[in-house]
Chains A and B, each alone.
Chain A
Amino acid sequence: MASEDVFILGIKMTKFGKHKELDTVDLATEATLAALADGGVTMKDMNIISAGNLMGGALPIAQVIQKACGQTGIPAYNVSNACATGATALRVVGMSIKAGESDFGLAVGVEKLAGAGLLAGGSRKSDGKSWERSGRYGAVAGVDGRIGTDIMPGVFAQIGMEYGHKYGGANFELFAEISRKNHFHSTLNPLAAYTKEMSLEQIMGDIMIAYPNTRPMCSANCDGAAAAVLVSGSKLKTLSQQQQRRAVKVSASILTSDPYEEACQVLPNVNTLTRAAAKQAYEQAGVGPEDLDLVELHDCFATAELVHYDNLMLCEEGNAVDFFKSGATWRTGSMPVNVSGGLQSKGHPIAATGIANVWEVCHHLRGEAGPRQIEGAKVGLAHVIGLASACGVHILESNTA
């Protein structure tokens, strides 16, 4: 028996940004109720919920959401996979539908992150009165800043610079130009945290965080939530014409972790698992990169976007610099990437990101993206990566064909 096809029936993200008056529960509920309404269903229809929230402590966020807007006794899966948490929640629900356990399911990601600063390497314990070994490396004091860097802007700077070293052509200006593209794209996205165009001079002249990443080249910490309602193919056939027309097919849903290779425990290797996820996703969906009308990829830093052009096979191996320079990834190009503004400008409320990027792609596939619509979009890809490490890739197709 073939497993069920999975469709997105309803999906919604909140405005990303500073929500001083709203807490995690408010944001998650807003996204959840909006996604249910978008799909024309209610909490009573859901057979499973999977949700994630990384910074809220040990709260079981799925049950918190149920207590806020509908306790129906369904199985609740709380998931945590760093920046791939939202994609993981989505995939858990999709697997349940594929397994025939659920007709409908709800996936939610939510984060309060405005003003959070550095998420890793934000503090280093002060040195003790006497040197005492601790940890797996037997260090006598904090290592961040003494043996390389723990901060994400620095880790991903090294990942981008490594690509530059291997293939050439990547420099500060090129990475800043990638950021300029995404900030430009965000001017058309009313839900983005930042919607201001920035010049190359402004980007390069801004505060340096970890060369070559200046502040606007880093993902924007912000508050936000995103939620999606998934439905099985057979159930969808029983729903209204309107619901069927707006449903978006999940042609591929892939999650990978990083396979061992030399150096991967010294500097995270975000390439192996992304390339593996992309390859599996294209096979599962039966499409190739050339079939994609738009891509939302994990530009947590400008230096990361470059390597993922290559990892997602949007260009020939080793050719990401020329690919970007060709203009392909601008919204007017042949392979628009991050037309939402990406994490650098739309923002990155970490657990919400893996559903928010799917929302962006769905918005275009449904033809509902307004002024930023990529005309005639039929197939799109959403990618996230969380250290250390998980990669989620979803390929989505419009159901109107």
Chain B
Amino acid sequence: MSDSIPFVNYLVLGDDPHLVAQECKACGARFFDRRNACAGCSGTEFQSVDVPTQGELRTFTIVAFAAPGIEVPFVSGIVDCGGTSVRANIVNVEPSPEHVKLGMPVKLTTFPIGKDEEGVEAINFGFEPAA
């Protein structure tokens, strides 16, 4: 089981992979990073909440020029998952404006990005068109 690990702390693997946000108990603002306090209300108490795995592509770009080692072109986008915005790559779609459409429904998917020397596989997430 420990042969694979999530790429980031806010990705939960298993039968039903999903993202987890830190939600401010006072105002409901949601964050994906380790928090000290809330940017919305300065509250300091948070609870973990599951983020819907289905969403709508609110904006995107197709990156054609990036740092060495980054495969281009790729689609970067912001997905509105039931009111929680998520930054991700849009995958399993041809990276062209003819195929990637603003407002299109997408769903979370996971995929391996490689193994380290101990054979542990890191699993990343992206969003793919929800046919």
Contact = CB atoms under 8 A, between A and B. Distances in A.
Interface of A: 118, 121-124, 126-131, 133, 136-141, 143-149, 151, 153-154, 157-159, 161-162, 164-165, 172, 207-213, 260-263, 265-267
- Highest count of chain A CB atoms <10 Å: which of B40, B64, B120: B64
**Residue among A128, A149, A265 facing the most chain B CB atoms (10 A cut-off):** A149
B64 A123 contact: no
Contact of A208 (B32, B64, B87): B64
B61 A137 contact: no
B33 interface: yes
B39 interface: yes
A376 B68 CA distance: 50
Nearest to B102: A165
A146 B34 CA distance: 19
Given A137-B32, A138-B34, A149-B76, 10 more contacts: A131-B116, A137-B9, A149-B74, A151-B66, A165-B58, A209-B65, A210-B61, A211-B61, A263-B78, A266-B78
B8 A139 contact: yes
A263 B78 CA distance: 9
Which 3 A-B residue pairs are closest in the complex by CB-CB distance? A138-B9, A145-B70, A157-B61
A146 B64 contact: no
A260 B77 contact: no
Interface in B56-92: 58-72, 74, 76-78, 83-89
A149 B63 contact: yes
A141 B7 contact: yes
Contacts of A146: 7, 89, 113, 124
B5 A158 contact: no
B114 A127 contact: yes
A210 B74 CA distance: 9
Contacts of B29: 260, 262
Contact of B87 (A157, A172, A207, A266): A266
Given A211-B97, A260-B40, A144 B34 contact: no
B65 A208 contact: yes
Contact of B77 (A128, A136, A148): A148
B114 to A, nearest CB: 7
Contacts of B32: 137, 266
A129 B67 contact: no
Contacts of A139: 7-9
Interface of B: 5, 7-10, 29-34, 39-40, 58-72, 74, 76-78, 83-89, 97, 102-103, 113-114, 116-118, 120, 122, 124-125
A148 B60 CA distance: 9
A346 to B, nearest CB: 22
Contacts of A267: 59, 78, 85, 87
B90 to A, nearest CB: 9
Contacts of A141: 7, 113, 122
Nearest to A163: B59
A172 B78 CA distance: 19
22 contacts: A118-B65, A124-B68, A124-B69, A127-B114, A127-B116, A131-B5, A136-B33, A137-B33, A138-B9, A141-B122, A145-B89, A146-B113, A147-B89, A147-B124, A148-B87, A158-B77, A161-B59, A161-B102, A207-B64, A209-B63, A211-B62, A267-B85
Given A138-B8, A148-B77, A262-B85, A130 B116 contact: yes
A91 B64 CA distance: 38
A129 B70 contact: no
A154 B8 contact: no
User: Which one of A131, A153, A260, A261 has the greatest number of beta carbons of chain B within 10 Å?
Assistant: A131
Given A128-B116, A149-B61, A210-B63, A165 B89 contact: no
Contacts of B76: 148-149, 154, 158, 210
